[in-house]
Structures are given as structure tokens and as C-alpha cells.
Amino acid sequence: MDRQQHIKLALSEDQYKKDITTKILQLDKECKAIIKAKESFHIYGLKWFSDVFKSVNKSTKIKLKVKDGDLVKKNKIIGEIYGTNHALLNSERVALNYLQTMSGTYDKCIRFRKKTSNKKIQLLHTRKTIPLYRLPLSEACKAAGCVPHRYDLSSSILIKENHLKLASKPIDLITKAIKKNKIIAEIYGTNHALLNSERVALNYLQTMSGTYDKCIRFRKKISNKKIQLLHTRKTIPLYRLPLSEACKAAGCHPHRYDLSSSILIKENHLKLVSKSLDLITKAIKQHKIVIVEAKTLKFAEMISNLKISRILLDNFTPAMIKSFISSKPKIKIEVSGSVNLNNINKFSIKGVHYISVGDLTKNIESKDLSMLIV
């Protein structure tokens, strides 16, 4: 799979051609967006980022103000994008997902390399990758001077403990390890089948377990059990399905699964129209789930009596949320932005119906598992 094929699949995963929110906006050929860094980091993945926009609409123009490998400071403008409002909104999430994850990997490689005092030592990355996301992650690592231990099963012969166990008697160390660690399951099959499947199977189990476990920890922190925890579309490209399944099993449903699931009117949509209420009214007439993002208390109160599915209070403080609830709005309330495991209970306020957390699927916490042949 090459970059273009990967991007095509990621866009398909997000149902960009069925974006029911963007479809209610009148097509505007003159539109500009800026990409801004919200923290300091080494950036990488600008080709992937740009190609997402080009894949949706070849006429879209991207003017980058940085290049791959640059140290980008917080609040730095990374680039400007020019194109139709539809093209920009259809591309936004997938493009940012690539740039965020690849930059995170590149930046981590740089930090690891800086910690290696002996510069003759070569830093390697492994095959412990998000399934279907090895290509962009490996590219980011390579650009940062970190080459693969081996890219896939065909790259080199790697004789490990499991192979040796199949060729000779188990050693005492293996027996000791089995007694010490919890056995999750037993697998029976040919040596070839087990070794061919091992890494990919563990990659799924490690990442999905990490996501499930995180959802459970977030839910336990919410004192108001009537509040529904939601995850967002901030997912590793091509890995939304397993992450969403893990979240759902842990009692955490999607804010929306893809662009066709519901109408979500956010700040960027409202900037493209002269009258925000006209756009919201048009959305309501589509007879779909309609969610409207509010950045200010004034705007939230202005739309609180409209017949929308729910209002999303973005980056509101607990005090602002309580103030809004005191006005007795007639719609369901979703809280999002700056919510983490340490402060989520502060947002567990009576009158809040949903809390959406991007961290649940954006920052994968893989769990440590291994397969041992006995």
C-alpha cells in the first residue's frame, strides 16, 4: 500500500462524500483556513496532510509556512489552505489525524535520539504498530533517523524465543515466566500459523485493550452516572473500527462515527455563513441528528430553545456550564474540550447529558502482552 492508497481508504472510512453537515452549506469557491499549532513539537507528515486535501479536491491550494522536521512553537501558523468550503471541511479531520499522529511519532524519535549519548548507536523502531498504520508511522520514524528493526515478516529472519522453543525443549526460564504472569489464552495450531499471526494479533489486542481500559478509567471518574461518555473522530486513520468497538464495549459511544452520521455545526461552518441561525434552521429541516457547537455563553443561550438534538459547549469552564444550565435550556447538553482524567469529575454537573473526550481514541495506550510457545 502506498501513501495515496492509504489516504483514499482513510477518507472512505470517514465517509467524506456523505458529509451531511457540509452539504447544507452553500458551495463557496473562495475559502481560506489556517492550521495553527496548539503546542510546541517537531512537525512531520506535511505531504500526507496536503495530499488529503488534494485527494478530495485537486484545486485546493496549500501554502505551508514550515517544512517537515521543523520545531514548531506553540501558536505558530503552520500553513494556509485555499479552496471551496466543502473541500476544506470534508478533508479537515483526516488531514489533521495524519499530521498529529505522524508529528507525534517523529517528535518522540527525536527526543529518544537526543537522549542517546553514544551517537554511533542506531535507534530502531519495531512492528508494534497500530494495525493498518505502519506505513505513515514508519515513514515518520525513518525521517527522524530511526529505522525499522524489521518492517514486516518478509524483511528479515528473526529467530526469537518462540522459534527456539519449537526447535528444542522449553527451558526453565520459560516455565518460570509462565508461573509469574497471567495466561490470557491458549492457542493451538501449526508453528507457521502461530508465528505468522503473532504480531498482528497482539497489536490489535494491545491497542484495543488500552482503549477499553482508558474508557473504563474515565467512566469511573464521572460521579454523575447519568452522563454518557462519548469518544470523537480523532482516531488513527484506518483504525476507527476497532477503537470504536473497544469504546462501545466499555460503555462509551461515538460523538459521531463519521461525517454521514449526524450534522455537527462547528465554528468553521458558522464562519462561512452570514447568518448562523439560518444555517441551523436549514440543518433542522434535514430531519437528522443536529449538534451545534457553542464557543461562548452568549451564543449558547441564543440557540438554547432551538429544536436541535443537543448543544456542544466547547472549552466551557465548570462555572460557565453551571451558568448556562441555570437558564433552564430545553435541549440536551454535551461538554467537550480540555477534559482529561484529572478534571473530568469537575464537568460531571447535574444537567449535563454527555461528555466527549478526544483523548480516548487520539492517544493510544497499548497494553503489554506477549505470546509464548510452550
Residue 132 lies in a domain: no
User: Of 98, 115, 132, which residue is a domain's last?
Assistant: 115
Confidence of residue 175 (pLDDT cuts 50, 70, 90): very low
Q: Answer whether residue 141 shows pLDDT above 80.
A: yes
User: Which pLDDT value is given to residue 144?
Assistant: 94
Q: Answer whether residue 173 shows pLDDT above 50.
A: no
Confidence of residue 248 (pLDDT cuts 50, 70, 90): very high
Mean pLDDT within 175-198: 70
Confidence of residue 168 (pLDDT cuts 50, 70, 90): low
Q: Answer whether residue 169 shows pLDDT above 50.
A: no
CATH number for the domain including 96?
3.90.1170.20
Mean pLDDT within 335-344: 94
Residue 371 lies in a domain: no
Residue 284 lies in a domain: yes
Please report, for residues 104, 122, 182, 184, the alpha-carbon distance to residue 238 in angstroms, rounded to integers and kept in the order given. Answer: 17, 30, 31, 27
CATH number for the domain including 240?
3.20.20.70
Mean pLDDT within 287-293: 95
Strands (E), the chain: 31-36, 41-42, 61-64, 71-72, 77-83, 124-125, 147-148, 228-231, 253-254, 263-265, 290-294, 310-314, 332-336, 354-357
Mean pLDDT within 244-256: 94
Confidence of residue 361 (pLDDT cuts 50, 70, 90): very high
> Domain of 97?
3-115
Are 215 and 109 part of one and the same domain? no
Residue 370 lies in a domain: no
CB 42 within 8 A of CB 67: no
Q: Answer whether residue 124 shows pLDDT above 70.
A: yes
353 vs 367, more confident:
353
User: Of 76, 91, 115, which residue is a domain's last?
Assistant: 115
User: Which pLDDT value is given to residue 40?
Assistant: 97
Are 111 and 227 part of one and the same domain? no
- β partners of residue 253: 230
Mean pLDDT within 277-305: 94
- The count of domains in the chain is 2
Confidence of residue 162 (pLDDT cuts 50, 70, 90): confident
Residue whose C-alpha is closest to residue 233's, from 2, 15, 27, 76: 15
Are 222 and 104 part of one and the same domain? no
Q: Answer whether residue 177 shows pLDDT above 50.
A: no
187 vs 210, more confident:
210
Q: What is the mean pLDDT of the chain?
A: 90
Spatial CB neighbours of 58, under 8 Å, sequence gap ≥ 6: none
Q: Answer whether residue 176 shows pLDDT above 50.
A: no
- DSSP 3-state of 241: helix
Give pTM, 2 decimals.
0.73
User: Which pLDDT value is given to residue 182?
Assistant: 61
Residue 33 lies in a domain: yes
User: Of 88, 115, 142, which residue is a domain's last?
Assistant: 115
Residue 155 lies in a domain: no
Are 220 and 325 part of one and the same domain? yes
User: Which pLDDT value is given to residue 235?
Assistant: 93
User: Which pLDDT value is given to residue 191?
Assistant: 87
For cell 437528522, what's the residue?
288
Mean pLDDT within 67-80: 96
pLDDT 10s digits, 35-64: 999 999 999 999 999 999 999 999 999 999
Confidence of residue 373 (pLDDT cuts 50, 70, 90): confident
Q: Answer whether residue 186 shows pLDDT above 90.
A: no
What percent of the chain clears pLDDT 90, i.e. is strictly above it?
76
Residue 71 lies in a domain: yes
Confidence of residue 109 (pLDDT cuts 50, 70, 90): very high
**Range in 90-104, 117-131, 311-325 the model is least confident about:** 117-131
